[in-house]
Amino acid sequence: MTGKGQGFGFGLGKMKELAEAFKKAQQVQEGAKRLQDELEQMEIQGESGGGLVKVIVSGNQEPKRVEISPDALTEGAEVVSDLVTAAMKDAYNKSTATMRERMEELTSGLELPGL
C-alpha cells in the first residue's frame, strides 16, 4: 500500500482550491439570482417597419406588450402579421444577446478547477 496517509488524492492545496471554487460558485449563484430579477424587470424593444410595430419583452423573453401604429393598420392584416412577427424576432434576438452579455459579465474571471 503505497501513498499511505494521502487520503483520496487531495492534498491540502487541493482542498483550498476546492473551498475557493465553492466560494466562487456561491457568488455566481447569488449573482445569477440578482441577474434573474433584473432581467424580469427589464424592457427590451424589438421593432419592424421602421417603428410601425414594436414588441416589448422582458430580459428573459417574457412578452410584455405589442404596439401597432395606426399607419400599419392601413397596410392590411397580412402585412401587419408579418411586421409583428419581424418585431417579435427582433425583440427575441435583442433579449437573448442581453442575457448572454449579462451572463458573461457574471462569470468573467471565474476559474473553476477541473472545468
Tell me, yes or no, whether 115 lies in a domain: no
What CATH number does residue 31 fall under?
3.30.1310.10
Tell me, yes or no, whether 80 lies in a domain: yes
Tell me, yes or no, whether 70 lies in a domain: yes
Tell me, yes or no, whether 18 lies in a domain: yes
Q: What pLDDT, on the 0 to 100 scale, is given for residue 54? A: 98
Domains contained in the chain, number: 1
Q: What are phi and psi of 56, to 5 degrees?
A: -115, 125
Q: What pLDDT, on the 0 to 100 scale, is given for residue 82? A: 97
Q: What does pLDDT average to in each consecutive run of 10 residues of the chain (115 residues)?
A: 52 78 83 89 96 96 95 94 97 94 79 52
Q: What pLDDT, on the 0 to 100 scale, is given for residue 1? A: 46
Q: What pLDDT, on the 0 to 100 scale, is given for residue 21? A: 82
Q: Which residue has the cell 488524492?
A: 9
Tell me, yes or no, whether 45 lies in a domain: yes
Whole-angstrom distance, CA of residue 87 vs CA of residue 79: 12
Report strand pairing: 53-57 vs 63-68: antiparallel
Q: What pLDDT, on the 0 to 100 scale, is given for residue 112? A: 52
Query: Could you tell me the pTM of the whole model?
Result: 0.71
Q: What pLDDT, on the 0 to 100 scale, is given for residue 11? A: 66
Q: Which domain holds residue 59?
A: 12-107
